[in-house]
C-alpha cells in the first residue's frame, strides 16, 4: 500500500507526525505500507513555488492513498490567487478526481459536554455528510472578475452540475446509507436554483435502484436550522460542493470540537485523500497544542475505505475511544477534572492503547 504523506502547513506537520506513529505500530506488526512525503499548500509554494507542485503531483498520482495534514496560513494570504494554499487543495481534488467527500459527524459519548448544544440534543449523534467535491460553483466556468459594458467592475461564478456528476455522487450516498440506517436526506435549494432542482430530479431517479433507502429532501436553509434543532433526525446527508462545505462545518460543531473529525475524499476507484476536517490553525502551530485525533481517525478511514482493512481501522478507533474514556484531552476538548495533554502526549496515549 503506497501512501503519499502531505503534512502541509501550520499544525499539519505536528498532527501528521502523530498519525504516522499510529500507522507505524501497524507496520511494525507486518501491515505492508510504504510512505512518501511531499509538500502541499504553503509548503509546496515555499519548496517549489506552487501550492500543488509537480513533485507532489507525481507522488500523489502514483500512491493508493494520500494522508494530508492541513493547508493555509496568513503569510500566504497576499499571494496571487492561483498560488494560495487553498488552490493546492482544490488542485489535488480535481487532479485525482476525488468527487466524493465523506465527512462524518460523530459524537464520542465522552465528549457530550464539549458540544455547545444540550447533551440530550447531541448524545448519540452519528451523521455522515456526503459532499460532492469536484463540481458546482467551486469549479464552474465562467468565473472571474471583469469590467462590464457599463464600465462597472463585477465578479461572477457559475453553479453547474452535469447529470453524470450528480448520478455518481448519489450512488455513493445511497451505497453508504445502505450500510447505515438506510435514511438519506438530499439537500438542495430547488425552490430557487435550477442547478439544484436538477440535482433533486436526478437523486429521485437514482433512488429507484435503492428501494430500501428512505429518501427525503430538504432546502439548505432549513437543513442548516434542522441540524441545530434536531440533528439526530439525520443519518446520511448528500449535497453539492458549496452547501456541503457550509453544512459540514456546522455539523462538526455539534460534536464539540472540529478537532475530532476525520474526512475522506474518494475517486471512482476508491483511491482517497484523507484529512482532518479542521484547518491549519496558524495561531497554535508549532506549540505542540493541536488535537491529533482527527488526523489519526483519518488514517483509520484510509485503512477502511481505500485498503478495505476494517480490523485495522476499528483498532485505531478503539484506541482513540479508550484514550478519551481514560480522560486524556487536548486543550480544544478539555473540561475540568480531565487530564490535559499536548499533541505528542495524545499520540503517546493512542500508541500505548493500540
Which residues carry out catalysis?
Answer: 138, 189, 221, 245, 249
User: Cα(245)–Cα(69) distance, rounded to whole angstroms?
Assistant: 18
Q: How far is the CB of 89 from ligand IPM (least distance, A)?
A: 5
Q: Quick one: how far is CA 138 from the chain centroid?
A: 16
Residue whose Cβ sits closest to ligand IPM: 86
Q: How far is the CB of 86 from ligand IPM (least distance, A)?
A: 4
36 near ligand IPM, judged by CB under 6 A: no
Cβ proximity to ligand IPM, 9 vs 14, nearer residue: 9
Q: Residue 126's beta-bridge partner residues?
A: 106
Cβ proximity to ligand IPM, 202 vs 277, nearer residue: 277
Peptide bond into 142 cis (omega under 30): yes
- Distances, alpha carbon 223 to alpha carbons 189, 194, 227, in Å: 10, 19, 6
Q: Residue 266's beta-bridge partner residues?
A: 100, 272
Cβ proximity to ligand IPM, 70 vs 203, nearer residue: 70
6 near ligand IPM, judged by CB under 6 A: no
Q: How far is the CB of 341 from ligand IPM (least distance, A)?
A: 27
Contact status, residue 166 vs residue 202, Cβ threshold 8 Å:
yes
Cβ proximity to ligand IPM, 25 vs 90, nearer residue: 90
Q: Segment contacting Mg ion (CB under 5 A): 83-91, 142-150, 199-207, 240-248?
A: 240-248
Alpha helices by DSSP H, listed for the chain, are: 12-28, 42-48, 54-62, 85-95, 119-122, 163-178, 194-207, 220-229, 241-254, 293-305, 310-325, 343-353
Nine-digit cell string for 155: 465578479
Q: Which of residues 20-39 bind Mg ion (CB under 5 A)?
A: none
Q: How far is the CB of 263 from ligand IPM (least distance, A)?
A: 8
> Which partner in Mg ion, ligand IPM, none is near 224 (CB below 5 to 8 A by kind)?
none
Sign, Cα dihedral of 285, 288, 291, 295 = positive
User: Cα(55)–Cα(106) distance, rounded to whole angstroms?
Assistant: 36
Q: Which of residues 57-86 bind ligand IPM (CB under 6 A)?
A: 86
Look-up: residue for cell 447505515? 180
Annotate each residue in 81-120 with x if it binds ligand IPM (CB under 6 A) or - if it does not, as one string: -----x--xx------------------------------
Q: Binding-site residue total for ligand IPM (CB under 6 A)? A: 4
Cβ proximity to ligand IPM, 5 vs 129, nearer residue: 129
245 near Mg ion, judged by CB under 5 A: yes
Binding residue for ligand IPM, selected from 24, 95, 126, 245, defined by CB under 6 A = 245
> Which partner in ligand IPM, Mg ion, none is near 293 (CB below 5 to 8 A by kind)?
none
Q: Segment contacting Mg ion (CB under 5 A): 97-105, 244-252, 312-320, 321-329?
A: 244-252
- Distances, alpha carbon 259 to alpha carbons 64, 134, 353, in Å: 25, 24, 20
Task: Provide DSSP, 307-328.
Answer: T--HHHHHHHHHHHHHHHHTTE
Q: How far is the CB of 297 from ligand IPM (least distance, A)?
A: 16
User: Cα(352)–Cα(292) distance, rounded to whole angstroms?
Assistant: 15
Cβ proximity to Mg ion, 131 vs 329, nearer residue: 131
User: Cα(288)–Cα(15) distance, rounded to whole angstroms?
Assistant: 9
Q: Quick one: how far is CA 320 from the chain centroid?
A: 18
Q: How far is the CB of 28 from ligand IPM (least distance, A)?
A: 32
Q: How far is the CB of 106 from ligand IPM (least distance, A)?
A: 17
Tell me the backbone φ, ψ of residue 299, rounded to 5 degrees. -65, -35
Binding interface with ligand IPM (CB under 6 A): 86, 89-90, 245
Binding interface with Mg ion (CB under 5 A): 245
Amino acid at each position: 500500500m503506497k501512501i503519499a504523506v502531505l503534512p502541509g502547513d501550520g499544525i499539519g506537520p505536528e498532527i501528521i507526525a502523530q498519525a504516522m506513529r499510529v500507522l507505524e505500530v501497524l507496520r511494525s506488526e507486518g501491515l505492508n505500507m510504504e510512505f512518501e512525503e511531499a509538500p502541499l499548500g504553503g509548503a509546496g509554494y515555499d519548496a517549489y513555488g506552487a501550492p500543488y507542485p509537480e513533485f507532489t503531483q507525481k507522488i500523489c498520482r502514483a500512491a493508493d492513498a494520500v494522508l494530508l495534514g492541513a493547508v493555509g496560513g496568513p503569510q500566504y494570504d497576499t499571494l496571487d490567487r492561483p498560488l494560495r494554499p487553498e488552490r493546492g487543495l482544490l488542485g489535488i481534488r480535481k487532479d485525482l478526481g476525488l468527487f466524493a467527500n465523506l465527512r462524518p459527524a460523530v459524537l464520542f459519548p465522552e465528549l457530550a459536554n464539549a458540544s455547545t448544544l444540550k447533551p440530550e440534543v447531541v448524545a448519540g449523534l452519528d451523521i455522515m455528510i456526503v459532499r460532492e467535491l469536484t463540481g458546482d460553483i467551486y469549479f464552474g466556468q465562467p468565473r472571474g472578475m471583469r469590467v462590464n459594458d457599463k464600465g462597472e467592475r463585477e465578479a461572477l461564478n457559475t453553479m453547474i452540475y452535469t447529470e453524470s456528476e450528480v448520478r455518481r455522487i448519489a450512488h455513493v450516498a445511497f451505497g453508504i446509507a445502505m450500510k447505515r440506517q438506510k435514511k438519506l436526506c438530499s439537500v438542495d435549494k430547488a425552490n430557487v436554483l435550477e442547478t439544484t432542482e436538477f440535482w433533486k430530479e436526478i437523486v429521485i431517479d437514482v433512488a429507484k435502484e435503492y428501494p430500501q433507502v428512505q429518501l427525503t429532501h430538504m432546502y439548505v436553509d432549513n437543513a442548516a436550522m434542522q441540524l441545530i434543532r434536531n440533528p439526530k433526525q439525520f443519518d446520511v446527508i448528500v449535497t453539492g460542493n458549496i452547501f456541503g462545505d457550509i453544512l459540514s462545518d456546522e455539523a462538526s460543531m455539534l460534536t464539540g470540537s472540529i478537532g475530532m473529525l476525520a474526512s475522506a475524499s474518494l475517486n471512482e476507484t476508491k483511491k482517497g485523500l484523507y484529512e482532518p476536517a479542521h484547518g491549519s490553525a496558524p495561531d497554535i502551530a508549532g506549540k505542540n497544542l493541536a488535537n491529533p485525533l482527527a488526523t489519526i481517525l483519518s488514517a483509520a478511514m484510509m485503512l477502511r475505505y481505500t485498503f478495505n482493512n476494517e480490523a485495522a481501522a476499528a483498532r485505531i478507533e478503539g484506541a482513540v475511544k479508550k484514550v478519551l474514556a481514560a480522560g486524556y484531552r487536548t486543550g480544544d476538548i478539555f473540561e475540568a477534572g480531565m487530564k490535559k495533554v499536548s499533541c505528542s502526549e495524545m499520540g503517546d496515549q493512542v500508541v500505548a492503547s493500540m
